[in-house]
Amino acid sequence: MKILFKNARLLLIEKEEIIFGDLIVTNNIITYVGESKNHQEKFDRIIDVEGNVLMPGFKNAHTHSAMTFLRSNADDLKLEDWLYNHVFPYETKLTESDVYHLSKVAFLEYLTSGVTAQFDMYYFPKAIFEASVDFGMRSVILATPTSFKESIKETKENFINLNNKHELVSFCLGFHAEYTATEAMLIELSEVANELKAPVYTHISETENEVNGCIKRHGLTPALYFDKLGLYNYGGGGFHGVHLTDEDIDVFLKHNLHLVTCPSSNTKLASGIAPIQKFINKKMNLAIGTDGPASNNCLDMFREMFLVTGLGKLKANDATAVDAIKVLKMATLGGAYAMGLHNADTLSEGKLADLIMINLKRPNMQPLNNIMKNIVYSGSKENIKLVMINGRILYEDYQFYLNEPVEDIYKKAQEITDRIKKEYKDSL
């Protein structure tokens, strides 16, 4: 399959510039990026971009996709109450098949906001693997062992068995959080990470209670504790980082770790506002995630980008803080690097064809001034005109192009949700 995108504004995010020209995708690889010209090749399809923007797809660098069954089911609660009295009890009812079907609802929503890859931290990784392959979603699956679910042994087996199995999916080492792990577990995981020379990711310093609890248990903040255990010897990172200390930041810098901010979730659960400008000043590796549909509840990268810059300005008490172009780079390049997707980060020849088209012919994009900043400050899902993952167009002109009817995905997810709610109610 060979596709020509002509008459496009090509957003070269690594250079922070937009050029006018053409882009060619051959199978799943970008094979030409440059000025418009009379191409002599034969194309299976020619798409006139009509001056709209082609850019790398957004990378959702932290999510729990299958938690769609909990969307708006446990809202307006404190995090500890939300997690221990609602989320965990409901999750005991999940089956591997449930996770397969529920993940697809999230994948649909990712397409509508231009997400071409997701860093999915949830249970039953084999189900997430199969759902990603069947749907066509690029996924990096993150292990989620806790003291009560999934073992480090299973995590190692999944790392070995799920990596290099399909071009759309990879698997990373991780764990849910310090407060749901035992020290013995983390020591075992550290041994595995050092044996495999693999990075490790986890929730970190999301709330003050989490940090204070870790200090009470171990005499150290989470980042310092994980560093002491050798979990970060081969890199990795953390999600949220709202309450990182200066010493914690030094750990991130020492190990070149990635910090993924999730402002909607932190706002909804009143966890606090991450000091993004401080992180930028420290030259930390930054990315953006939506978190899951139970704590957000909207899987929308446009909303996340606006909140990253907006809340960042409030936190710094400085309207010049957290520049929008830096945020756009966090949502694309930063996410790709956090997820290890170095071959799907830019519109460059030889890179994977994971790209989106931004419709500039909508009122929120007119008149044209600074297009890159306007994507962050004014952009929305209505501006996503096309989404291509791995050279395949999955979403175009607000229509999905999948291997199954969207209505079937919705129906199955509702059946699962209704069943779990009934089982939960019956168990009370």
What's the distance, Cα to Cα, between the start and end of the chain in Å? 55
Distance CA 313, CA 97 (A): 43
On whether both 256 and 162 belong to a single domain, the answer is yes
Q: How far apart are CA 400 and CA 300, in angstroms?
A: 17
Report the Cα 159 to chain-centroid distance in Å.
19
DSSP 166: B
Q: Do 367 and 312 belong together in one domain? A: no
What Å distances lie between residue 212 and 237, 244, 259, 371, CA to CA? 20, 12, 20, 43
Residue 198 lies in a domain: yes
Domain C-terminal end among 289, 316, 338: 338
Number of domains in the chain: 2
**CB–CB of 110/64 below 8 Å?**
no
Q: In which residue are the tokens 């200090």 written? A: 215
Q: Are residues 50 and 87 in the same domain?
A: no
> Measured in whole angstroms, how far is the alpha carbon of residue 317 from the centre of its chain?
28
Domain containing 94 equals 58-338
Rg (the chain; Cα; Å): 21
In a domain, residue 409? The reply is: no
Q: What is the pLDDT of residue 224?
A: 98
Neighbouring CB atoms inside 10 A of 363's CB total 7
Within this chain, do residues 374 and 318 fall inside the same structural domain, yes or no?
A: no
The answer as to whether 410 is a domain residue is: no
Q: How far apart are CA 258 and CA 25, in angstroms?
A: 30
pLDDT value of position 262: 98
* Structure tokens, 53: 């923007």
Half-sphere exposure of 301 (CA within 13 A, CB side): 34
Residue 312 and residue 362 share a domain:
no
Residue from 132, 101, 227 nearest 142 by CA: 132
Distance between CA atoms of residues 168 and 8, nearest Å? 26
CA 390, 391, 396, 400 dihedral sign is: negative
Question: What would the two tokens of residue 353 be?
Answer: 């064809």
CATH of the domain at 48: 2.30.40.10
Instruction: Answer yes or no: is 420 within a domain.
Output: no
406 lies in a domain? Answer: no
Is residue 124 located within the same domain as residue 51?
Answer: no
DSSP annotation of 57 reads P
Indicate the length of the chain as a whole number: 428
Cβ-contact 254, 226 below 8 angstroms? no
Q: Does 423 map to a domain?
A: no
Q: Which two tokens stand for residue 55?
A: 């850019």
CATH of the domain at 222: 3.20.20.140
Write down the pLDDT at residue 29.
Answer: 98
Under 8 Å between Cβ of 259 and 280: no
Residue where one domain finishes, among candidates 286, 312, 338 = 338
Whole-number pLDDT of residue 112 = 98
Of 174, 158, 139, 163, which is closest to residue 339 (Cα–Cα)?
A: 139
Rounded mean pLDDT for each run of 10 residues along the chain, 428 residues in total: 98 98 98 95 97 98 97 88 89 96 98 98 98 98 95 97 97 97 98 98 97 98 98 98 98 98 96 98 98 95 98 98 98 98 98 98 98 98 98 98 97 98 89
Is 81 within a domain?
Answer: yes
Distance CA 386, CA 136 (A): 15
Residues 146 and 17 in one domain: no
If asked whether residues 118 and 234 sit together in one domain, one would say: yes
Are 82 and 212 in the same domain? yes
pLDDT of residue 309: 98
Q: What is the DSSP string of 220-279?
A: S-HHHHHHHTTTTTT-EEEEE-TT--HHHHHHHHHTT-EEEE-HHHHHHTT-----HHHH
